[in-house]
Structure 1
Amino acid sequence: MDFTIHQLVCFDAVIREGSFQAAAEKIGRSQPSVSAAVKNLEGQLGLSLLDRSGYRVLLTEAGRSFHDRMHVLLGELHELKTYASQLAMGDESELQVVIGDLCPLPETLGLLRRFFDGCPGTRLNLHFEAISGPWERLFDGEADLILHHIDKADPRFEFLDLFTVELLPVVTPGFLHFPISSSITTEHMRDYVQCVIRDSARHSPSRNYYLVEGARSWTVSDQTMKRELILQGMGWGHMPRYLIEQDLRDGRLINIAGKHLRGGQVEIVAARRRAEAHGPVASRLWTYIAEQAASFASTILL
């Protein structure tokens, strides 16, 4: 006889709660039924999964190995149940999408518009967030999808590569009181106001990139406002090349990156939670973005 999902759930609950009684209370079963389920599982597998000799039940070596593999199965089962429920309900009535501060708005909104034109029954709720804000909304369950940069080593993310943004430190002509060269250091810039993007995260630790320690800084909510402040000679800062390319060509802004004061590159992706089930419209959106990624990147001046 094959083991059952009920037996796996009981075994998992015992491990997580530390005892048969606590496991029974957690999953709403009697203690004898949980104990019998785990005992039957061991008999069917021909393995001793638990060491019952102490005050708390402990995993045997075989039990630990089996539980590690079983945990993946239970996670996939949860996703399947959630997805089946979403299928039964039909297309989602709304989706939450977060656009990060480094995404070019005209191209990004055009990409989303072309998809949602074909989904008249689903309302798109757009949020615009900066720095840590997109990640926070995703992990708080307030976003189905984010378009932003991520830590690709974080196993919680599933992602699609979109494009790379080049960030350049720029000033207006005459802003600096010394000659521009490739030898400018952060110490040279400490006496000048630096324009930075305000982290929109509400409860996560605030982050800042390229911030010169000890320098005065003015914070803004988006890249467009930041560009305007820099063009007005109110400060300097790192800007995405696609947003200032024409300013650089026309001489309104000057790239001051060099050996010490460096620019950078940021990989923008579409990301969602790996361990979350996604409904029909969200799944179609994911597939659509994957299919459009190459042509989408080609429309952006990088």
Structure 2
Amino acid sequence: MKIDQVLTLIHVVEAGSISAASTVLNKSQPAISMTIKRLEETVGITLFNRNGYRLELTEKGQIYYQKCKLIVDQINQLNSYSDSLKRGEEHEVVISIEDSANVDPLLSSLKEVQSSFPNTQFKLHSETQLKSFQRLNKEEVQLAFTPWLPTFAAEGDFESKHVSNLEISFCIHRSLLAQVNVTDANDIDQSVLSKLPQVVPSDFAIDLNKDVLMKPIGRSLLKVNGYQTCVAAIHAQLGWGPIIKNMWSKALTEDFVSFQIEKDSTPICAEIRVVKNRKTILGPAANKIWSMF
């Protein structure tokens, strides 16, 4: 069996007749008929019923045709992949995403990049406690979507772009407040919070002023190593703790109260940024994602 025979079979089936296929292939009808006959001799089955006016695939011929289509599609994909490698496109782009980062902007941009680079596969790794910076330093990922403070620049030779704003506040379930006879959010202060359990992030992968989010005020501490676990713990009424407002606004129902520890303080503001290692040269697909922010 030769690839030319397989392609001829496919063209005859899709064109509907040998006559139509001869026009598409720019070959004579006898040549096409001979190619099909030799293919049938090679595989040992009759591919077409020749009793009627039109050629129709036999039952086995239909199955054989479908398998030929799969093979040709795979060959076309392989040729396309080879061409993409010649153009310098990446085989794979690995992106690290902190679980406290809103992934919607990334996913929106990734859809367009997938269309432009169909031969590049993408890996999205969820990270916690700012481990994305470690992966960037080790060059295990090309890009990271992560919360960002100016002090993070000292953790490596990074270049970053703004993606969205990040506003951190605190949240508590009303039933916990009821345990200390508090019903009004305006009455929440450190003396109230000190009587209740507190949910705090455990150690981060990089240096960070932990008192901002981890100042031990509560009666007891529940340490968690990821934002999603923190949210789940607050939902489960295991304590009060930090929340990211723009990620959890829909969940702030009438059962929860948002507050600041200090009465006159404002929410903690940071950014979500896309970050890359400055010394890493991005390939076309990764660079397209980078350029979209």
Asked if the contact 1:186/1:261 (under 8 Å) is kept, the reply is: no
2:37 maps to none
Asked if the contact 1:183/1:259 (under 8 Å) is kept, the reply is: no
Structure 2 CA distance for aligned equivalents of residues 211 and 197 of structure 1: 7
Among all aligned residue pairs of Structure 1 and Structure 2, give the percentage whose two residues are the same amino acid: 20
Structure 2 CA distance for aligned equivalents of residues 267 and 206 of structure 1: 15
Matches within 5 A, 1:257-296: 257=260, 258-259=262-263, 263-287=267-291, 289-290=292-293
How much has 1:198 moved relative to structure 2?
4.2
1:93 maps to 91
Matches within 5 A, 1:218-257: 218-248=222-252, 250-257=253-260
1:102 maps to 100
Check 1:175–1:145 CA distance in 2 against 1; reply closer, same or farther (3 A cut): same
Amino acid at match of 1:252: D
User: Which has the larger displacement, 128-137 or 211-220?
Assistant: 211-220
Q: Deviations over 1:151-184 (max 9, x none)?
A: 4462722111111111111101131215345564
Asked which structure has the greater CA Rg, the reply is: 2
Q: Deviations over 1:174-221 (max 9, x none)?
A: 3121534556444542342222334574xx568745112264322334
5+ unaligned residues in a row in structure 1: which ranges? Answer: 1-86, 291-302
RMSD between aligned alpha carbons?
2.9
TM-score by structure 1 length? 0.57
How much has 1:239 moved relative to structure 2?
0.5
2:48 maps to none
The DSSP-based 3-state class of the residue aligned with 2:116 is: coil
Q: Deviations over 1:229-270 (max 9, x none)?
A: 21221111110112332233x312101214267631121111
Asked if the contact 2:101/2:147 (under 8 Å) is kept, the reply is: no
Structure 2 CA distance for aligned equivalents of residues 112 and 200 of structure 1: 28
Asked if the contact 2:99/2:228 (under 8 Å) is kept, the reply is: no
Structure 2 CA distance for aligned equivalents of residues 205 and 158 of structure 1: 18
Q: Deviations over 1:100-139 (max 9, x none)?
A: 1221244533332332243222121211112331111111
Count matched residues. Answer: 200
Asked if the contact 1:238/1:263 (under 8 Å) is kept, the reply is: no
1:169 maps to 170
5+ unaligned residues in a row in structure 2: which ranges? Answer: 1-84
Asked if the contact 1:186/1:260 (under 8 Å) is kept, the reply is: no
Structure 2 CA distance for aligned equivalents of residues 251 and 115 of structure 1: 40
Matches within 5 A, 1:111-150: 111-150=109-148
